[in-house]
């Protein structure tokens, strides 16, 4: 099941649409405050904190999430807590929805200090900090006064820090601190998570991300644009009746527990090998014989009925000796120790009998390999392709070939390969992966998978997909080859490229999570990832309603 991940700008349009439909801004703010209070109660309970005896400091900014804090202060007072508000807003300014709730808090006798009175606000030593200084609209760099407040909040050492909508200083688009951000134990965000809260590298600042509804009508949501989405894992679903869903990063105990048992599913799918998908793996060179073999093994483990490996003779020798179930096909009748342009015609002819062609694992960066790539893409009638590894570098040195890509093709660059395609550094790719994905998608009309921590998938005509997980067991040489073979097997079973890519990333991540039991401190190899695929495929089959679908 996919859930929406609107950008801050897209979320602002949803808020405005709700107001235009007749829902007062004060009502939305009250709903957000109540949702934040529910999250705060749950988080306090986890830590053995009783709100009725807790001292709570709420740091409120000038924007609407500052208004959420003013409104929360009233609920905290009613719960028996001792709230104190520190506001960067002019305390005489009671205009707008936030001003309305500030006025209510003041009338109820809740202490409200200006930012200049930081020491006075801290005189009661808070147990709980509520960060509502900056909202999702923040970007750029913290101003000096804001940076000082962020530093002071991080230095408090409160037993519970709750960020409202986004930790102050964190860019809700990229998940990067600017240059620092509040380090929260939990972040409550409203209606939907934002991209910068979903990416795994933001967890240092967000803690647990709790998504709470605030009553924005579905009709408003449906009519607004959406750039990103993510999926829920089995058992982690948005509930009917408005119950929240939680996005957890990494291999949390809850997430791991959902994947603890192996699937005990009865055999399903076609009974004849020819109907289970035919995949051709083309790659390898004298220096890299293992990569195409790993991709082939992953394709077999993913359920492909017939897998063929083609490449230079040293690659075929390894494939024959290690995988008797794989068919090997020479590049030509003469001995071949490297790729050449003339191999493309024979490769294309053989691939036409297959449902998918995986091209690139271990290909090498020779001139002959690049020439073969160029000749191959110019041949009509090719099956859907997974273009991976060194084939991507061939595209980088011949960017005019990107115009030959098709919507049925899947490209799987890691940050270094993406950097080569974009003409920037890998560091620049990593600093803003969402922007890098957008730039890649503009290079060619295909499905793009930007691999790495927080894998991103661009799908033509659809919102991009964010993988919210960090899986250390996948950070091993050969892991990308396994993903390529898995994706090729899904394409060969007539999965659309969009589904093959998203489902491939989904299953690949789950395989890594399962391996965390046997290899909790890493130490697994790529074969272990491939060998775990049948179990997670079975789990996906048992909980099909959670599988990504279009």
pLDDT in the model for residue 254? 36
Asked if 249 and 471 count as a contact pair (C-beta separation under 8 A), the reply is no
What length does the chain have? 550
Q: In this predicted model, what pLDDT tens digit does every residue of 384-397 receive, in sequence order?
A: 999 999 999 999 99
Q: In this predicted model, what pLDDT tens digit does every residue of 147-158 receive, in sequence order?
A: 999 999 999 999
Sketch out the chain's domains with CATH numbers: 25-217 (3.40.50.10260), 275-541 (3.40.1190.20)
Which residues of the chain fall below pLDDT 50? 234-242, 249-268, 542-550
Quick one: three-class SS letters along 222-243? Answer: HHCCCCEEEECCCCCCCCCCCC
- Give the closest residue to 284 by CA, choosing from 358, 348, 231: 358
The residues, any chain, with a CB within 8 Å of residue 83's CB and separated by 6 or more, are: 56, 57, 58, 72, 73, 76, 77, 110, 111
pLDDT in the model for residue 240? 39
CA-to-CA distance for 357 and 77, rounded, in angstroms?
A: 64
Provide the CA 76 distance to its chain's centre, in angstroms.
34
Asked if 77 and 151 count as a contact pair (C-beta separation under 8 A), the reply is no
CA-to-CA distance for 242 and 222, rounded, in angstroms?
A: 17
Confidence (pTM): 0.89
The residues, any chain, with a CB within 8 Å of residue 544's CB and separated by 6 or more, are: none
Instruction: Provide the 8-state DSSP code for 400.
Output: G
CA-to-CA distance for 207 and 46, rounded, in angstroms?
A: 14
pLDDT in the model for residue 92? 86
- Give the closest residue to 481 by CA, choosing from 290, 228, 321: 290
What Å distances lie between residue 347 and 288, 340, 521, CA to CA? Answer: 19, 11, 41
CA-to-CA distance for 382 and 384, rounded, in angstroms?
A: 7
Asked if 37 and 75 count as a contact pair (C-beta separation under 8 A), the reply is yes
**How many other C-beta atoms lie within 10 A of the C-beta of residue 319?**
27
């Amino acid at each position: 099941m996919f859930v929406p991940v609107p950008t801050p700008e897209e979320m602002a349009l949803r808020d405005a649409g709700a107001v235009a439909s007749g829902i007062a801004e004060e009502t939305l703010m009250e709903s957000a405050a109540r949702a934040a209070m529910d999250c705060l109660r749950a988080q306090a309970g986890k830590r053995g904190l009783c709100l009725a005896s807790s001292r709570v400091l709420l740091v409120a900014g000038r924007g609407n999430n500052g208004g959420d804090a003013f409104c929360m202060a009233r609920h905290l007072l009613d719960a028996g807590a001792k709230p104190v508000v520190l506001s960067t807003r002019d305390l005489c300014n009671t205009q707008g929805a936030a001003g309305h709730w500030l006025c209510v808090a003041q009338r109820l006798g809740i202490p409200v200090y200006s930012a200049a009175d930081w020491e006075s606000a801290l005189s009661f030593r808070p147990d709980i900090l509520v960060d509502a200084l900056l909202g999702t609209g923040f970007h750029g760099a913290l101003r000096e006064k804001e940076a000082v407040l962020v530093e002071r909040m991080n230095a408090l050492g409160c037993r519970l820090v709750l960020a409202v909508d986004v930790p102050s200083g964190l860019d809700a688009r990229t998940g990067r601190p600017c240059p620092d951000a509040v380090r929260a134990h939990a972040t409550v965000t409203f209606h939907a998570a934002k991209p910068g809260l979903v990416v795994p590298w933001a967890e240092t600042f967000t803690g647990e991300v709790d998504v709470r509804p605030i009553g924005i009508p579905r009709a408003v949501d449906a009519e607004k644009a959406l750039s990103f989405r993510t999926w829920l894992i089995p058992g982690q679903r948005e509930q009917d009746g408005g119950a929240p869903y939680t996005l957890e990063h990494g291999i949390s105990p809850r997430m791991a527990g959902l994947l603890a048992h192996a699937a005990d599913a009865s055999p399903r799918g076609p009974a004849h090998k020819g109907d289970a998908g035919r995949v051709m793996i083309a790659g390898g060179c004298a220096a890299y014989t293992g990569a195409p073999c790993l991709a082939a093994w992953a394709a077999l483990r993913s359920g492909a009925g017939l897998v063929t490996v083609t490449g230079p003779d040293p690659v075929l020798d390894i494939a024959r000796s290690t995988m008797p179930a794989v068919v090997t096909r020479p590049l030509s009748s003469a001995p071949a120790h490297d790729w050449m342009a003339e191999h493309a015609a024979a490769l294309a002819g053989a691939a036409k009998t297959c449902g998918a062609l995986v091209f690139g694992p271990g290909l090498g960066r020779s001139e002959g390999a690049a020439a073969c790539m160029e000749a191959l893409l110019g041949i009509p009638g090719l099956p859907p392709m997974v273009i991976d590894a060194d084939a991507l570098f061939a595209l980088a040195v011949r960017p005019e070939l990107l115009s030959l890509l098709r919507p049925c093709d899947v490209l799987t660059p890691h940050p270094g390969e993406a950097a080569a395609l974009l003409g920037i550094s890998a560091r620049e790719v990593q600093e803003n992966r969402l922007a890098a994905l957008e730039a890649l998608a503009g290079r060619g009309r295909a499905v793009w998978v930007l691999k790495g921590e927080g894998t991103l998938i661009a799908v033509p005509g659809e919102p991009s997909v964010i993988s919210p997980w960090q899986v250390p067991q996948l950070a091993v040489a050969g892991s990308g080859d396994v993903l390529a073979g898995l994706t090729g097997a899904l394409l060969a079973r007539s999965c659309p490229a969009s589904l093959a890519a998203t489902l491939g990333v989904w299953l690949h991540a789950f395989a890594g999570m399962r391996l965390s039991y046997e290899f909790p401190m890493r130490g697994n190899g790529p074969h272990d990832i491939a060998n775990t695929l049948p179990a997670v495929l079975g789990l996906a089959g048992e909980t099909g309603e959670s599988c990504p679908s279009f």
